[in-house]
Copies of this chain bind each other. A is one copy, B any other.
């Protein structure tokens, strides 16, 4: 800590007005997108890093906390603080959206419509760009659905993977992230009601339609098939007891999820 290693952590210039902890956030952000800190990297211990940046530990912690809240950093007690390693597709934390939903009283219908628009857009792009590998995976998942008609939970797994494969083959990670953000919120309230299977066969059929449209590189058909699929899913959904977007799980889980 005394001398050597890296001096890439320059003590922050007080000129950058604003509060000190904001300065820390700025410093860390710049280090990240300058490539000095890359996904998966571990930050120096808080005590050291605080000295290196010339701030106190609480102030540094405040900055880290801010970045952790938006999903860029992750701290594990006893282990260290890490730049989030997104192994799969990049993902955005859905808790801000969830908060906004409760703050403004969004209906689940509105949320569902947003998801539908995003899924349709993604399906359209996927129809233009899906590679052979992607389509093979989709076909497998569809087959998996047919094979799981008696096991709703297993069916749901294939369902989610199918939608994520579509997102992946859209080639647009931003849309994918946004779609997952919305889908996650819907998913969290849905997973509890999955037990009561609702016409899994029809659902599998519709997924197959989507797959075939993508397979034929027909964006319009893909969009339409996705539209039909989600419309029916919503209708089945609406038959269940009232779903509140209100009771979000306590912790702002960041997981991805897409449902039928």
Contacts and interface: CB of A to CB of B under 8 A. Distances in A.
Interface of A: 16, 18-19, 21-22, 25-26, 29, 32-33, 39, 58, 61-62, 65-72, 77, 83-84, 86, 90, 92-93, 95-97, 99-104, 106, 110-111, 113-114, 117-118, 120-122, 124-125, 172-175, 177-178, 181-182, 246, 248, 250-252
Given A103-B33, A106-B173, A172-B110, A69 B65 contact: yes
Nearest to A91: B100
Given A92-B96, A93-B70, A174 B114 contact: yes
A199 to B, nearest CB: 27
Contacts of A29: 99, 102, 248, 252
A83 B77 CA distance: 30
Contacts of A97: 92, 174, 177
Contact of A99 (B33, B100, B121): B33
A99 B114 contact: no
A128 B252 CA distance: 35
Contact of A100 (B58, B102, B175, B177): B177
B104 A86 contact: yes
A124 to B, nearest CB: 8
Nearest to A121: B117
27 contacts: A25-B252, A29-B252, A32-B99, A62-B62, A62-B65, A65-B65, A65-B69, A66-B69, A69-B70, A70-B93, A70-B96, A71-B96, A83-B103, A86-B103, A90-B100, A92-B96, A92-B100, A93-B96, A96-B96, A101-B174, A110-B173, A113-B172, A114-B175, A117-B122, A117-B124, A117-B175, A174-B182
A58 B60 CA distance: 13
Contact of A117 (B19, B61, B114, B125): B125
Contacts of A77: 19
